Chains A and B, each alone.
Chain A
Amino acid sequence: MMPTAIEFFKLLPKTNCKDCGQPTCLAFAMLLANQKAKMDDCPHVSRESKDAMESTTAPPVRTVAVGNVNMGGETVLHRHERRFINPTAYAVTISDRCDIPERIDAVKKLSFERVGTVFDVDMVSVRCDSGDAGVFIKAVNAVMGSWDRPFILECGAGILKEVIKEAAHRRPLLYCAVHENAGEMIAIAKDNSCPLVLRDTDMERLADLAAAAAAAGVNDIVLDTGSANLKECIERHTVVRRSAIRKRFKQFGYPLMNRVGSGEYAVAMAVMSTMKYGSLVIFDDLKNYEALPLFTLRQNIYTDPQVPIQVKQGLYPIGEPDGHSPIFFTTNFSLTYFTVRADIEKSKIPVWLQIVDTEGLSVLTAYSAGKFSAEHVAESLNASGVLTRSDGIVVIPGLVARMSAKLHELLGRDVIIGTTESRDIPKFLRELK
């Protein structure tokens, strides 16, 4: 568990010198407890205090970087306790037997935009299916030439020894050390400073592997529990993560991953892994209709519960609205936007939907906070140009009916009070016609 503000406070000089930029030591301690400041920001803190803190504040799950992808670093078991930090990375396999440029092209095409965020494949896993070091080295070089993101090398220790010389400068993730080859794999990871996956289906032996790797000086470790089904995945991942966070069991203080195949069950495994502590899922293959819902799940699970997902302010035409279509507006809280949008779509009547930036607050909250005032709404309606594109009536969300007189005055056109509940919009629109 993270220490509380008071525990931090006890270790500070308590001089309120303001050198850290905060008015008091207590204020600084509160930032420390929220992980918004570092102990080093205080120039006067004693060596003993620092040491005492380091042993207790080291995150219970190590952050392991593979290129620009961070895995782990988690501090809680449930996202509502604080938030999950580093989203699950998805990788697809590139066999050394396939046409590499064609395959890389297909992987790059798995890319979507949703709520202003681009989703795409984070890594590729180059797998030695040929059993031939020469073929594999050629494939790895071809991948490195056309893929600038992180990658994984999937092969036995013998072949890895030969290929790693070519690839070590990119710090690929090595997959994987098992009981039988642990010594060799750990040595390769150590000599080339590469992160390493440890795999065992037996949790006690997995802990042994982690202890052996750490003893050899390999700390960038990812754990694969070898889960073959959903049940094993949730149970083993829960044991590993609870051990790390609740019991501070160092051998399990690393990111978790799953190696799955392709098709329906592989996606189900990835879904479970994404919800339950998985930092990496390697697929044989992933289809676009599987990828979009999966990426969306990751976005949902890894959203900061205190910072709602927001939609960009702007004009969103629904259907094919024309010069007389009604003009709706609402907040940029994504949940509000999606709900209102879906309900307007249900009516099959074209509408101009203006999204007003309320910093992600919902209708009533934004109104109370003064971020959804008539002035603010009028400003965004004017800025988007919707008023010149349609002479239609402006529909005010029922919850903020109070702004109607003011908005009418500011816009100089007819306004009408809409529904309190989004689900009543279709009926409202039909009657408006």
Chain B
Amino acid sequence: MKIPETDEKYQGKINETDLGRGYVAGGADGMPFLSSENTGKRRVMIAGEVVDDLSDYPELAAAMFDGRQRDPVEWARMWMSLGMDMICLRLKGTDPDKGKRTPKEAADLVKNVIDAVPLPVIVFGCGTPDTDREVMREISAAVKDTRLILAKADEDDYKTISSAAIAGGHNVIAFSNLDVNLAKQMNIILTDFGVDRNNVLMDPLMAPLGMGLDYSYSVNERIRLAALSGDKMLQIPMICDATGAWDVGDAVSDDDGLGSAVSRVTWWETITAMAAMTSGADIIIMRGPAAADMVLGYAEELRCG
């Protein structure tokens, strides 16, 4: 017998944002992975995480990179050889408490990574606002001919990073904290400040599996549904960071009854990423190489068209 027609006809479409270096994110005009209503043919993109200071980096993860994690440039090359689409560089070493990398050195490192791999690069600071402002200014001034993705602008601290992005022609990530209204507000704040809408990506905070994933899943879905229904200020590609999975006790604990921690955390991060992309993520940041490989495979299989 005939079954009902259930495809949704949405009016909205997610912005197609140029990530630089020939890569574009976004373009969906239907809910994720439903080929009959979503004509956006782009696959969810995967960014491999590279950190320039390993003092807070989990040993369990470090062991998966066979020594290459000690050199950020080598590490980025390895991600590329695994087929990842982007590099996510965290400049933890600029933290004044660790005290090693100056803003100038940080900018040099970014340049070295860009020279080594032809992929779009997301750059995070160390999380200390004063330092991050200085580092972002320096990087933006030093890297002129390659578009970067600078992270991240939040409600209390967005002006410097936005100015740096505008000055250098870079993209900027608008961060919000599990809140649909704030996510929208951030996009408005940035565009009001002068950042072109085509240069914004949004990070609504991906809470990992077992630590609030339920909130993120629903916030993401609501953002995507509102965007497709026509809310222009939410029609911005979504980036989700799945590496929070490594902070979950049950994922990494030594407990024979729970099975191998390596396999467990790999699933923990993979499931976090699968929930992110099923609820609307366009780009996912991954830490574990096995998890990244699985998620890349699933993303390829799920792409529309």
Which A residues have a C-beta under 8 Å from some C-beta of B?
Answer: 78-80, 112, 114, 203-204, 207-208, 211, 229-231, 234-235, 238-239, 242-243, 246-247, 249, 251-252, 264, 267-268, 271-272, 275-276, 287-290, 292-294, 296-297, 299-301, 303, 305, 309, 334-335, 338-339, 341-342, 345-346, 423, 427
Given A264-B294, A342-B249, also A301-B210 (CB < 8 A): no
With the chains together, A299 CA to B214 CA distance in Å?
9
Is A338's CB under 8 angstroms from B248's CB? Answer: yes
Judge whether B117 is part of the interface by a CB distance below 8 angstroms.
no
Residue in B32, B257, B264, B298 whose beta carbon sits within 8 Å of that of A268 in the complex = B298
Contact A78 B207 (CB under 8 A): no
B215 within 8 A of A: yes
B interface, over-half SS:
helix
List 6 additional contacts besides A204-B1, A290-B259; criterion CB under 8 Å: A289-B258, A293-B271, A297-B271, A300-B275, A342-B248, A345-B249
- B210 and A272 form a contact (CB under 8 A): no
Is B3 in contact with A288, judged by CB distance below 8 angstroms? no
Q: Name which of B2, B209, B210 has the most chain A CB atoms within 10 A of its CB.
A: B210
Digit string of B205-234 for contact with A (CB within 8 Å is 1, else 0)? Answer: 001011111110110011001000000000
C-alpha gap A275/B31 in the complex (Å): 14
**B214 near A301: Cβ-Cβ < 8 Å:** yes
- Chain A min CB distance to B34 (Å): 6
Q: Is B71 an interface residue (CB 8 A)?
A: no
Instruction: Chain B residues near A203: list those with CB within 8 A.
Output: 3
Question: A285 to chain B: closest CB distance in Å?
Answer: 13
Q: From A345, which residue of chain B is reached at the shortest CB distance?
A: B249
Contact partners of A80 in chain B: CB under 8 A: 218, 221-222
User: With the chains together, A246 CA to B8 CA distance in Å?
Assistant: 11
* Measured CA separation A9–B172 after assembly (Å): 51
Contact between chains at A292 and B218 (CB < 8 Å): no
* Contact yes or no, A346 B4, CB < 8 A: no
The reply to whether the CB of B127 lies closer than 8 angstroms to some CB of chain A is: yes
Chain A residue nearest in CB terms to B216: A300
A99 to B32, CA, bound (A): 43
Within 8 Å of chain A (Cβ to Cβ): is B10?
A: no
Among A242, A271, A292, A303, the residue within 8 A (CB) of B258 is A292
User: With an 8 A cutoff between CB atoms, is B112 at the interface?
Assistant: no
B34 and A235 within 8 A (CB) = yes
Contact B218 A305 (CB under 8 A): yes
- Check B249 against A341 for contact (C-beta < 8 Å): yes
A238 CB contacts on chain B under 8 angstroms: 6, 31, 34
Interface string of B23-39 (1 = CB under 8 A from A): 00000000111111000
Whether A234 pairs with B1 at a CB distance below 8 angstroms is no
Q: Which 5 A-B pairs have the closest CB atoms?
A: A289-B259, A242-B6, A288-B259, A247-B4, A80-B218
Q: Is B267 a contact of A293 with CB atoms below 8 Å?
A: yes
Interface centre among B6, B31, B127, B249 (most CB of A within 10 A): B6
A221 to chain B, nearest CB (A): 15
B250 on the A face (CB < 8 A): yes
Given contacts A234-B302, A287-B259, A289-B259, contact A303 B278 (CB under 8 A): no
**Bound form: Cα–Cα A290–B294 in Å:** 14
Across-interface contacts of B271 in A (CB, < 8 A) = 271, 293-294, 296-297
Instruction: Identify 28 residue pairs between A and B in the complex whose beta-carbon atoms are under 8 Å apart, listed by A's number.
Output: A204-B3, A208-B1, A211-B1, A229-B301, A230-B33, A230-B301, A231-B302, A234-B34, A235-B36, A238-B31, A239-B3, A239-B6, A246-B6, A264-B294, A276-B278, A287-B259, A289-B264, A290-B267, A293-B264, A293-B267, A296-B271, A297-B213, A299-B210, A335-B207, A338-B212, A341-B249, A346-B247, A423-B127
Q: Return chain A residues, CB-CB under 8 Å to B210.
A: 114, 293, 296, 299-300, 338
Task: Please tell me if the beta carbons of B221 and A338 are within 8 angstroms of each other in the complex.
Answer: no
**Interface hits, B175-232 → A, CB 8 Å:** 207, 209-215, 217-218, 221-222, 225
**Whole-angstrom distance from the CB of A200 to the nearest CB of chain B?**
12
Q: Is the Cβ of B259 less than 8 Å from the Cβ of A300?
A: no
Asked whether any CB of chain A lies closer than 8 Å to the CB of B251, the reply is yes
- Chain B residues lying within 8 Å of A292, measured Cβ to Cβ, are 250, 258-259, 264
